[in-house]
């Protein structure tokens, strides 16, 4: 009986969504439209917004990893790195390649002869190589590229700790504005405190 009641409530909610969508009410099911001047907006946006987007993926990656959901943690980690590298391009006034997702290629496009920071290090190359396969492997049953023999390994806790290190080093390279929402600060707590404390546990970013 409980199952039937639950199904009925779900169906009622779907009906509510349907009526709202038909009447154009609210944002429960937003009507999608093409963004005008996408290329210009992408060109003009400031680097800190890419960091903000990257941090959302970073937070998700760490929470998933700590719950042993390894593959999707690694995918979120890849998304974090992608956004941070795009932030770096904007920060250094490097013309970004359009809609690139291969973070090894993205790292190469971040590097110039003038750079001497973390971007030029062997450490970042290894971190990028570790996370790069998970853009496709986790999301699709068929991939354009895949690991040799289709095999890869996720090591606990080390593979999330290298992402912690990546964020720490990239934050040293790019100062984050004090007036921007920063989800890595304690002040950002629409998330339950227990979850936020889990995110910070054994995280080198928060160590003194």
SS3 state of residue 82? helix
Q: Measured between alpha carbons, how far is 33 from 26 in angstroms, rounded to an integer?
A: 16
Q: What share of the chain is helix, strand, coil (3-state, %, to 5)?
A: 60, 0, 40
What is the reported pLDDT for 162?
Answer: 97
What is the reported pLDDT for 114?
Answer: 76
Q: Measured between alpha carbons, how far is 13 from 10 in angstroms, rounded to an integer?
A: 5
Q: Which of 114, 118, 105, 110 is nearest to 91 (CA)?
A: 110
What is the reported pLDDT for 103?
Answer: 96
Q: Measured between alpha carbons, how far is 154 from 163 in angstroms, rounded to an integer?
A: 13
Tens-place pLDDT, residues 116-158: 789 999 999 999 999 999 988 787 888 787 787 778 899 999 9
Q: Measured between alpha carbons, how far is 179 from 177 in angstroms, rounded to an integer?
A: 5
What is the reported pLDDT for 198?
Answer: 92
- Please, are residues 47 and 88 in contact by the beta-carbon 8 Å criterion? yes
- Please, are residues 21 and 28 in contact by the beta-carbon 8 Å criterion? yes
For domain 34-206, the CATH superfamily is Nucleotidyltransferases  domain 2 (1.20.120.330)
What is the reported pLDDT for 189?
Answer: 58
How would you write the pLDDT of the chain (208 residues) with one tens digit per residue? 699 999 999 999 999 999 888 888 777 888 888 888 888 888 889 999 999 999 999 999 999 999 999 999 999 999 999 999 999 999 998 877 777 889 999 999 998 877 778 999 999 999 999 999 998 878 788 878 778 777 889 999 999 999 999 999 999 999 999 888 898 886 665 778 889 999 999 999 999 8
């Amino acid at each position: 009986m409980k199952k039937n009641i639950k199904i009925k409530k779900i169906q009622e909610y779907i009906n509510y969504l349907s009526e709202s969508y038909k009447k154009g009410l609210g944002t429960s099911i937003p009507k999608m439209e093409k963004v005008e001047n996408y290329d210009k907006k992408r060109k003009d946006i400031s680097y800190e917004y890419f960091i903000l987007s990257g941090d959302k993926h970073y937070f998700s990656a760490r929470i998933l990893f700590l719950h042993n959901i390894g593959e999707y943690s690694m995918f979120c980690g890849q998304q974090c790195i992608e956004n941070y590298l795009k932030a770096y391009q904007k920060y250094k006034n490097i013309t970004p390649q359009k809609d690139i997702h291969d973070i090894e290629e993205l790292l190469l496009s971040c590097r110039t002869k003038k750079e001497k920071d973390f971007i030029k290090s062997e450490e970042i190359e290894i971190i990028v190589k570790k996370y790069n396969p998970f853009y496709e492997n986790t999301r699709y049953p068929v991939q354009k590229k895949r690991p040799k023999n289709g095999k890869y390994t996720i090591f606990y806790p080390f593979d999330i700790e290298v992402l912690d290190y990546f964020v720490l080093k990239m934050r040293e390279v790019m100062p984050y504005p004090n007036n921007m929402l920063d989800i890595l600060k304690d002040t950002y707590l629409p998330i339950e405190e227990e979850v936020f404390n889990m995110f910070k546990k054994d995280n080198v970013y928060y160590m003194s």
